[in-house]
Structure 1
Amino acid sequence: MKTSLLLIYVFIIQCSVAMAQTLTPEQLRTDFIRFQTALNEAHPAPYQYTFKATFDSLFTATEAQLNRPMTQQAFYKTMVPLLVALKDGHVKWIPAGQDEHYPFHTGKLFPLKLYVVENRAWVVGSFGTETVPNGVELTRINGKSVADIIQELLPNMTFADGHTVNGKYDDLNQFFAGYYATFISAPDVHEVQYRAGNEEKMASLSSVTLEQIKAYNEKHKPAKQRPFRLAMIDKGTTAVMTIERFWDDKKEQDYRGFLKDSFRELKEKQVQNLVLDLRNNEGGEEKYGVTLYQYLAKKPFRYYDHIRVRQKKNYSFPAWTPAIYRKFKWLVVRKRGDGYVFTKQSGLKIQKPKRDAFHGKLLVLVNGLSFSVTSELAARMHADKRAVFVGQETGGGYAGDNSGIFTVTQLPNSKIDLGIGMFGYRMANLPNDLKPGQGIIPDHTVVPTIDDVLTNNDRAMKQALQLIQSTSAPATRSSRSH
């Protein structure tokens, strides 16, 4: 125990030193080379959305900036455009030992909780004791327009696959204070301007700490519910199934058991309509998405087309990868064309529907935080024309994602951890008209208003239920609600 505590203490000291010290150009270039090598050897598809020539030019331009001493934060920010160019929402870039969303500043953070839609932001809460009214539109922060701030932050955010943006907006709604402090400023006092009715008002607000933000979030978090839920409505003709995540803790709730019992109940009660709520579900284990679709498919299906792996040989740089993968990759990674594929995944095989599979009308709710495994499942349902979708475009890509097992390397001088998903999951039987880099776009787009957020009005759910009840309008007709 004493040895463990000593190691933890040394680790914390090393991280603190790395944050405080100025890195020399030689140290910066050493870390840059490690970063570039790791992407080249571990990432399954670095040029999926950005041409290699463009990437090479970006690498050259970035390296040219490393000709002067930099702090850890300056180096972190300098490298971010390379990560953004990957258009891979799974990639991790975290100073060792720090909070992913508050990597450098935990004591001088923006004090208001915001709801951001496109280039506008409204106040929905306050982390400190000084407040402005909820529901007012924020127009300026520290002299800069909110629209300009949003457009400055979005290009530095990585939580999105391909060309999707809704995941970034949902990330801003959760972690605006962290992004603002990292990429813009972290003053002691924030001067804000807001619109109340026809008046423009000003307020000076003291910055808050990360502890205050966490305390606010803890106080205002929704009442705890089981992550997997089934509710019957409309006299039993319709059911709403909520899947908050694609992983489980069997001490809390068993996922497979929940599906088995739920779909047996749907069949026994002859439920005609099912609303599947996948909003805010950021993913989990791939096999859980495959299993759920076995309960929804009407015929045998292929889930994944292939799973790409960059190389089979050992990496040339120091990195952590799961021991089981290192031990068995020689058996499960095969050469294919000009690359390699991972062969042992149930979703690669033809899958048959379960005995109690639901064959009725299916509506699926998605938003920008529908990501990873959730987007894979949504893509399969959408490509197979199995469901009508309501909500907002997913943050995860339609064609697939790069995730699964991760390899993590720590840059030797800046002490920033780079995490790369090693498996490139590619969905089978994609639509011919699919646009590169898109997510799953709903048939009925529903964007919550500020009033919806403040009153907990679930506009998307209401739209889905109206579609079920409607007999005058086809459920697949595209519409847009605000």
Structure 2
Amino acid sequence: MKITFLTICFSLLFCLSLVGQTLTPEQLQADFNRFRTALNEAHPEMYRYTPKPAFDSLFTATAAKLNRPMTQHEFYVTMLPLLVALRDGHIKWIVSGRDEHYPFFTDKLFPLKLYFLGEKAWVVGSYGNTNVPTGAAITSINGQSISAIIRKLLPNMTFADGDRIGGKYEDLNQYFSGFYATHFGGPDAFTITYQTGNDEKSAMLPAVTEKTIKDYVESHKPAVQPPFRVTFLDNGGSLPQTAIVTIERFYTDKGEQDYSTFLKEAFAQIKQKQIKNVVLDLRNNEGGEESYGVQLYAYLAEKPFRYYDHISVRQKHKFSFPVWTSKLYLKMRWLVVKKRGDGYVFTYQRGLKTVKPERDAFHGNLYILLNGNSFSVTTEFAARAHADKRATFIGQESGGGYALNSSGIFAITQLPNSKIDLGIGMFGFHMANLPNDLKPGQGIVPDHIVEPTAEDVLSGHDRAMEYTLNLIQGQKAALTKSE
């Protein structure tokens, strides 16, 4: 799902940034009307979580604010509540020509890399020359408490389906400097207070540039590994017959290993080695191609299954606004989009039919690792496995919604005056055969909640994996004892 948007984004013609320029109320209202029209015509289920009367009231309140000249930055922030109300983590709101996480500031950015958990944040790196030690807990920035800053940012972030906040925390962990600048501004320096042990200290830190941050991120990337891999464990006999299957993403880049070939060979090995326990690591997997999730589950299902119940779309007619989307879809929608009840459904997807398990499907003990970045296709796959009671889940609640999400092919329009790109996932993927006790907007909640600490991040300690392997070892010991 994510790859579809990234691919078509490269085809857009970027415009010069309007940062600092003023838009008239008439221009703002024109962009507002384009925004509303695009959502009404392209989003498959705009009122999924926020009822139409509440959304209409929010539209009215937002339109009323556009009665004075605004900068592009002010307009961008003013419109965010409407995007958040969708509670759709796939929605895109990007200033043309700019990195989506640094839309207005390429300098004057916060110079520390932070790790967030709850309403606290710890230093896990530095983008500039600072003397703040790693592991220190940040208590305030420029006179505002870190808890107040978190409470300000979270409601204005969109990387979340339903009521999820895990994806928002993962975004803060990676892009806090950008979010802070967008909502609090970019000063030349930052005054912080921090704690190490029982001592509280303060420091003034010079701002850094976007390039400095990206150079730091690039230099601290882990060693490149294949995105799909399987590891067989022994650990001196304490963990025999255990395999770890890692799927970093559900798409492949040109020249990479073939996904289908990987699955075929990996599960043939698992069968040949008589593996009893498989740990499937899907942490930080933000998704990709829907069919990849269906294909993976066919190697893990214990019986024939339906993956999706239905895939909703808003309409099959021509849009009334300028839009960039898949030309193939526009040509084929008359064949693949059908009327159902009061709406429409997309019918061309393998997961809509009953799928049989593969010949070498694994039927042993399955453990699935998730976190807040387990999103989109990853959450769909996890929902299928969870609903079928196929696995034990460890880690943190998924970033994607359990029951459904909006993604697939995107419709992209550029607002004519502010030059902000609005990207809308046009398909609503509804999972089949769901539990009856699901709460609206929930994600996949692990059976065992395991959250990394700042110390884990700094040391590279994989707490969730360690917990999982201990769980396997403990269950093996309990089984041996009972026998």
Structure 1 residues 41-68: Cα deviation after superposition (integer angstroms, max 9, x where no partner): 0000111111111101100000000000
- The ranges of structure 1 where at least 4 consecutive aligned residues each deviate by more than 2 angstroms after the TM superposition are 471-475
Q: Give 2:357's match in structure 1, choosing from 353, 356, 370.
A: 353
Match of 2:299 among 266, 291, 295: 295
Tell me which moved more, 364-373 or 231-240: 231-240
The residue correspondences of 1:37-186 to structure 2 (distance < 5 A) are 37-186=37-186
| Residue aligning to 1:333 | 337
Alignment partner of 1:414 is 2:418: yes
Secondary structure, aligned partner of 1:251: coil
1:435 paired to 2:436? no
The equivalences for 1:197-216 within 5 A come to 197-216=197-216
Which of 370, 373, 376 matches 1:372?
Answer: 376
Q: How far apart are 1:19 and its partner, in Å?
A: 2.3
1:277-307 Cα offsets, whole Å, 9 max, x none, are: 0000000000000000000000000000000
Task: Supply the distance in 2 between the matched residues of 1:434 and 1:113 (Cα, whole angstroms).
Answer: 36
Aligned length: 464
- Counterparts in 2 of 1:256-335, with a 5 A limit? 256-335=260-339
Separation in structure 1 between the aligned mates of residue 422 and residue 254 of structure 2, nearest angstrom: 31
TM-score, normalised on structure 1? Answer: 0.95
CA-to-aligned-CA distance 1:111-150 (integer Å, 9 cap, x gap): 0000000100000000011231000100000000000000
Cα gap change, 1:353/1:472 in structure 2, threshold over 3 Å: closer, same or farther?
closer
Which residue number in structure 1 is paired with residue 24 of structure 2? Answer: 24
Amino acid at match of 2:16: C
Cα distance in 2, alignment partners of residues 434 and 105 from structure 1: 41
CA distance in structure 2 between the aligned counterparts of 1:126 and 1:289, rounded to whole angstroms? 37
Q: Does 1:382 align with 2:375?
A: no
> Structure 2 CA distance, aligned partners of 1:452 and 1:20?
42
RMSD: 1.4
Q: Does 1:470 align with 2:471?
A: no
What residue is the counterpart of 1:4 in the other structure?
none
Q: Deviations over 1:424-481 (max 9, x none)?
A: 0000000000000000000000011111111111110011111111139999xxxxxx
TM-aligned CA deviation for residue 252 of structure 1: 1.8
Equivalent position SS for 2:389: coil
Gaps of 5+ in 2: 1-9
CA shift, 1:253, in A, is 1.1
Q: Take 1:468 and 1:360, find their aligned partners in 2: how far apart are those partners?
A: 12
Distance (Å, rounded) in 2 between the aligned partners of 1:426 and 1:474: 39
2-structure distance, mates of 1:305, 1:20: 48
Superposition deviation, residue 198 in structure 1:
1.0
Compute the displacement of 1:410 (Å).
0.3
What SS does structure 2 have at the residue aligned with 1:224? coil
Q: Distance in 1 between matches of 2:201 and 2:20?
A: 38
Counterparts of 1:67 and 1:430 in 2: how far apart (Å)? 46
Read off the aligned partner of 1:280 and give its amino acid letter: N
* Alpha-carbon distance in structure 2 between the residues aligned to 1:81 and 1:474: 51
Q: Which amino acid aligns with 1:291?
A: Q
* 1:95 CA drift (Å): 0.7
Match for residue 7 of structure 2? none
Amino acid at match of 1:81: P
Which AA in structure 2 matches 1:21? Q
2-side partners of 1:101 and 1:276: how far apart?
30
**Per-residue deviation, residues 86-123 of structure 1 (Å, max 9, x unmatched):** 00000000011110100000111000000000100000
**2:3 alignment partner in structure 1:** none
Residue 16 of structure 2 aligns with which residue? Answer: 15
Structure 1: segments with no counterpart, 5+ residues: 1-7, 476-482
How far apart, in 2, do the equivalents of 1:41 and 1:298 lie? 40
| 3-state DSSP of counterpart to 1:462 | helix
Q: Secondary structure at the match of 2:475?
A: coil
1:450 aligns with 2:451: no
SS at match of 2:246: strand
Q: What do residues 367-394 of structure 1 show as CA deviations (whole Å, max 9, x unaligned)? A: 0000000000000000000000000000
Percent identity over paired residues: 65
Matched, 1:403 2:407: yes
Residue identity in the other structure for 1:301: F
Aligned-partner Cα distance in 1 for 2:364–2:197: 47
The CA deviation at 1:219 is 1.0
Question: What residue in structure 2 maps to residue 478 of structure 1?
Answer: none
Measure the CA separation in 2 of the matches of 1:472 and 1:321: 52
1: distance between equivalents of 2:476 and 2:228?
33
Cα distance between partner residues in 2 of 1:390 and 1:416: 39
> What is the identity, as a one-letter code, of the residue corresponding to 2:406?
N
Q: Distance in 2 between matches of 1:385 and 1:209?
A: 48
Deviations 1:387-408 (A, max 9, x none): 0000000000000110000000
Q: Distance in 1 between matches of 2:425 and 2:478?
A: 40
Quick one: which amino acid aligns to residue 431 of structure 1?
P
Q: CA deviation at 1:185?
A: 1.6
Q: 1:225 is paired with a residue of what secondary structure?
A: coil
